[in-house]
Structure 1
Amino acid sequence: MDESKSSEGGIRLRSRLAVFEHITEENKPKKRKFGSSRYNDSDDSSPSESELVIDETPTVVKKKHKKKPSIKISEEVLNLKCEWISCDSIFKSWIELNDHLLNHAGANSGTMCLWTNCNTDCKTVPFLMQHVSYHGYLTKLKNIGSNVLTRESLPECKHEKSEKIILRKEGYMCEWEYCMLNFYNVCEFYMHMEMHVNANPREANEKKNEIILCDWAGCKLKFATKYKLAEHLRTHTHEKVMACPTCGTLFANRTKFVDHRKRQLSEHLQSYQCSQCLKLFPTERLLREHTRSHINHYKCQMCNMTCATPSRLAEHIRFRHLDMKPYKCDQCDKAFKTKYNLATHIKTHGEDAESCEFCSYKCRSKVGMQSHYKKKHDQSAPIFECHTCKKKLKRGQFLTKHLMKIHNYHWPSGHSRFR
């Protein structure tokens, strides 16, 4: 632990897990200390009670904050407003809102979604019903997110609003053993999965042969309670429990939503710093989570590449060692290894959507526009520095070329870049 004191016992700085905190000496809890050394009971030289030196400095008792009672997702009070054109109905239940939206879709003369600011043409009535049902799902999740914000003081979200509803031509398949039902309605699908969870006892009891098991295809994990099973099942069904009411991002639990908001704190308010990359974080937990990214625990069996997480290792194997390209473009003969790469490629078939405000350059993606801006118009100061000669450069790739060409550095075996 590193410490430094100010001249008059002012501020003491300490680092812990690369965490930098400011603790004033006057607020630091004092402990009652006995000023005697070790001694044996049989030793005549042991001090008497009157000889024990006691530090009588008054202790500062830290007030315990009462933990606010947590509210279960199922107990959240809902006020779900229908945003269908010329409708201002409000519902207390997601199921009621879903039924109401399906009535709107069924009564609609065409296949155009009339939800406020949507106007998506779903092509067929079944797809329109799937689409409007998802609007209801998003409304519920954002309502729960709003409830959390009213109970907790969290930073504002600065992200742009984005609500993408992707039609699932194959519907929502329940892969529970001996079930395999298919649903075109997200509400009915998640209600159905809740039925599978509730078929279990509240707690597992092996003596009574009461086992709580995930029967999703290829799983078979056991759980202590049905609530843990419900939480786990979301990894299979991709169900979310709340959304940011500002930007619409979906979250699988409350912690991730809170992290989403806290990450957007102004940099000068983020007081936890990584000692490796100097990145700042708003909480110690987020810093601890980040520090794991600097340690590579997982090694590829086919080369010397090492990764910080299993998902990064899987991504490496997919790109470096496998030839499978399951995602095919329906407008040309190209295929890709990930959905993201396919989505990026599909934009090349459309019109240029991005225009540079400084010149006549146009492109189809925000990533392409950002790359153009950095190359042609960015006047900001260099942010990369060579640790050998202290030369400053604007981009990471320029630093890489500099290290290899000028200083004869090479990437570690199995890696494709410096870290």
Structure 2
Amino acid sequence: MMSHTGEKPFQCDMCDSAFSQKHHLKHHMMTHTGEKPFQCDMCDSAFSQKGHLKSHMRTHTGEKPFQCDMCDSTFSQKGLLKSHMMTHTGEKPFQCDMCDYAFSQKRDLKSHMRTHTGEKPFQCDMCDSTFSQKGLLKSHMMTHTGEKPLQCDMCDYAFSQKRDLKRHMMSHTGEKPFQCDMCDSAFSQKRDLRRHMMTHTGEKPFQCGMCDSAFSRKGDLKRHMMSHTGEKPFQCDMCDSAFSQKHHLKHHMMTHTGEKPFQCDMCDSAFSQKGHLKSHMRTHTGEKPFQCDMCDSAFSQKGLLKSHMMTHTEEKPFQCDMCDSAFSRKDDLKRHMMSHTGEKPFQCDMCDSAFSQKRDLRHHMMTHTGEKPFQCGMCDSAFSLKGRLKRHMMTHTGEKPFQCGMCDSAFSRKGDLKRHMMSHTGEKPFQCDMCDSAFSQKGHLKSHMRTHTGEKPFQCDMCDSAFS
């Protein structure tokens, strides 16, 4: 009758709890005393109530006597079945009084409340990390133990959490259940869709406190902060290189292994990074998606556009520390440094010539093969270099873009203007080391040297005369 009247005559003298039945009070008292008289004989677990031991034993036997009558699911405890039924009915009786969230289970509401209070009662005993849920602590512990009990049965990947395995499986099935309702993009993970939506809204909620940069993802902000701190936590164990991001280290490792997993299906080229393959494909398609907004130039790569923009701004941030030269690109500085060191790593395998730049070797090889791929469209001339064809075209057009600032002379080549300027300045940088003569052009010095050597390489083919 007390269940009808609500009467609870059995009062706990250690707290405010009260019970309608004496044995309920008896069980409750064990929460104060810590007494657990019901011991599992298959493991070290112990319980304050016999029913709890009975439920626990099913974890050993695998018994699941509680069957859902709406699907094939079975459960070891009646309470688990009751909670499961709410997934069919959609019932969520436990309402958060601080926001609109509602839950089918009381414990889920309890965990959720910690997002409002900030409470993190579950402490890792191996580091300072704390968590709002016991399950999160359990998952975290695997980062210390390295345990990954959930194995993918389609590849060698293993995971510490079931949800991570579930997401990974979509990489095999190609399943993308999260569809963007503003474009055709679809994603295998809800969080990826959420991040993608920011590309439509322009939202960047993660603001850098040291500069004006803002990001749509917390991880991007975290990586950006390393550009301020200089932190590089990912160390290569084969050389001294270190990186601020894990995937940069992964790509770097391929320089040691020589691995190039991304193969072009239109030629034999292969690449260590997917982005490099994507850029390379544009050499086949001719696509140039990066447009300069100051002129009509377009480029196949973003980096090329960035370098090109410096021709408008005349910015040259890469300074040589051995001379006054400065460059708009790091690669140009690197190549320039070889003019100081004399390094020529690119060796011709058909003669003794060596070059500081790969492209110079490639051009040189054409002197062996006779290849001249750049054909003039106005005459029969052909050239091994594109620049030479460009200069040649000026003989047809009469164009002379290099104007002397001291007289009316104009030239089709920059080098010709440079040599001409010496006629104004009187500069003669090419000095004969056998007499005091000096010349403004290297070719003139070369001709002069024959007056010392007596060399006469130019032979008349109609008589025996020869000339220097």
User: TM > 0.5 between the two?
Assistant: no
Bigger-Rg structure (1/2): 2
TM-score by length of 1: 0.35
TM-score by length of 2: 0.32
